[in-house]
Structure formats: C-alpha cells, structure tokens
Amino acid sequence: MWVVDGHNDLVSRTWRGDEVRHVHLDAAAEAGFAGGFFALFIPSPKPPNPSSAHYALPLPEPIPTDEAARVAEELYDIFCDLPVELATSPADFGPGRVAAILHLEGAEPLAPDLSDLERWHERGLRSIGLVWSRANAFAEGVAFRFPSSPDTGPGLSAAGRELVRACNELGILVDLSHLNEAGFWDVAGLSDAPLVATHSNAHALCPSSRNLTDEQLDAIGASGGVVGVNFAVSFLRADGAAEAATPLSEIVRHARYIADRIGIDHVAFGSDFDGALMPDELGGIAGFPKLLDALGADGFDEDAVAKIAHGNWLRVLGETWT
C-alpha cells in the first residue's frame, strides 16, 4: 500500500538548517511514501511553549509581503533541489517514486493584488493555505489555544475573496487548515471546488482551535472534499497535551470519527511531519505501514485503507486541478 500525505515541512526545516526528523526520502520506497504536499512556510519567531495543556498563545505578528516573498524564493530553491518530481497531475503519483505538490502555507509571499499568482502557478504552485495562523492581507488564522473554538476572528478580506476566486480559475487547491471559522465559511460560500483541510482534526475529539467542528466537517463532506488527519499529538489528544508517548490509536480515532461523520471518501492523511511533535510509536514516514495496519485492525477494510492512504487525495486533486 502506498501513501500520499497532506502536509510536511521538510523544505522549511532544511532552510533553517535543522536536522530532518520525519521525512527521510531515502526511506520512501520501503515506507510506501509516494509524496504529497510539501509546504513553503515562512516562519515567525517561535512562540513560548505552553506551560500546561490549557494555553492561549498570542498570534504572531504579520510578516511584510516583501520579506515573505524573499524567503519564499529561498524556500522554492530548496524545494527544486529535492530528489522529487513536481506534481501537477494526480497521474504523477504512484508507488516507487516521490511526487511533491508545491504548497504555500500562508499566502504572505503573494502580492495583495495577485499580480504574481500566475507566475507562481507557472512554476508549479498547485496549493495555497490562505494563512498560517497569523494575519495577512487575505485572511486571519486561529491563535494556538486549548480549549478553544476556531471562531477567533474576522473572515476573509476583499483580497482574500479575490484569491479564492483566482485559485478556482487557475485550478489551485485552497487549503482551509489554520484558517479561522469565519474565513472557513467565507471560502465555503465562494469556492466551486471541493473544500479541503490538508492537516486538521476533529474538534469534537480534541478541542483545539486548530481543529474542525462537526459543522465544518459536514460542509467539507457535502462539497466532496477531504480532511487530512494531522498526526501532531497536541491536535489529537482529548487533553491537548504535547506528549510523545501518544499511541497510534489516537490517529485512528480521528480517522474513524471523520469517516463515521462524513464518509470514508473524505478522510486522508495530513501528517505535519517535520513541523510538529509526532507520536514516538509512529516516528516519521517509516511508520506509515504500521499506521495502515492500525487502521485495518480498527475495522477499515482494504478498500477503505486505500482511500485514506492515497485514493481520496487523488480524487480531490483531479477534481480541483482540472
């Protein structure tokens, strides 16, 4: 069984000069890792670590467009140097090779008038997360809070609405992860593509501001979209704790909840590898076979596991990129 994953931060970790923890590409073939969304993420100064499982961290300050664009060019150069194939069609994915979707995690590098969007599209950009939590010219994300609803701020700006429309026209996926609830509903009312959250979980199971309410899940399912289950432990656990001893069953629990709520066709993986604390039992991409086995042990049949592993992503990409 091979896997397409909804989110990793390998590019940003490499840019910072940090040791790769999870996405070891030389282990991809053995792990069945066929690639997925590779994020270009412009980091903010790291917020303080929560002193307990109950926390409310402030939103990072916005980053000026010029600075974000400069960093994005450096990240893009690193992306181009990776031993992967650029993915612009679902047919680019398959066992035995690694294909990478060029994804902006936060639209800060884009000019608010979108004058550079077509250039990015020509370079292969096929997915944009409107925000990474902090505000930008297009939208505002959720602050990192637990417990908290995702209803934490205003919706899309006029520029954000134009960005959604332009993405629909160009065939660029709009990622709802990190976006606050008002922005989510704005996108849902504007977009004619399936709604997608590349790396988010069920708020009913873990009441983090980063997770999706039942109503949001329902909207994604009704649109034909998909939720990539995030493996970050603090978005999995009912207590929100950053505990590496979190078992694989917590990932399966969210996959099961989303599948039971909106259907098996709307569940996928969105690991957040190399961007967050993972369960020790999983490790990195080498743990995918173990996770697939855990899904099977929970009662997902072979067809259902294949949909979660890659089939649902390929379907949604095909419907969005055409």
- The pLDDT tens digits of the residues spanning 19-50 come to 999 999 999 999 999 999 999 999 987 655 66
Full domain range(s) for residue 179: 3-321
Q: Name the more confident of 57 and 142.
A: 142
pLDDT digits (tens, 9 = 90+) for 124-157: 999 999 999 999 999 999 999 999 999 999 999 9
Share of the chain above pLDDT 90, in %: 94
Query: DSSP readout, 191-228?
Result: --S--EETT--BTTTS--TTSBPHHHHHHHHHTT-EEE
Query: Does the pTM of the predicted model rise above 0.85?
Result: yes
Residue among 197, 143, 202, 142 nearest 175 (CA): 197
CATH code: domain of residue 234: 3.20.20.140
Q: Which of these, 147, 176, 163, 133, lies nearest to 275 by C-alpha position?
A: 133
Question: 102 and 78 in contact (C-beta within 8 Å)?
Answer: no
The count of structural domains within the chain is 1
- The Cα–Cα gap between 297 and 45 comes to 41
Burial of 187 (0-12, 13-18, 19+ CB in 10 A): buried
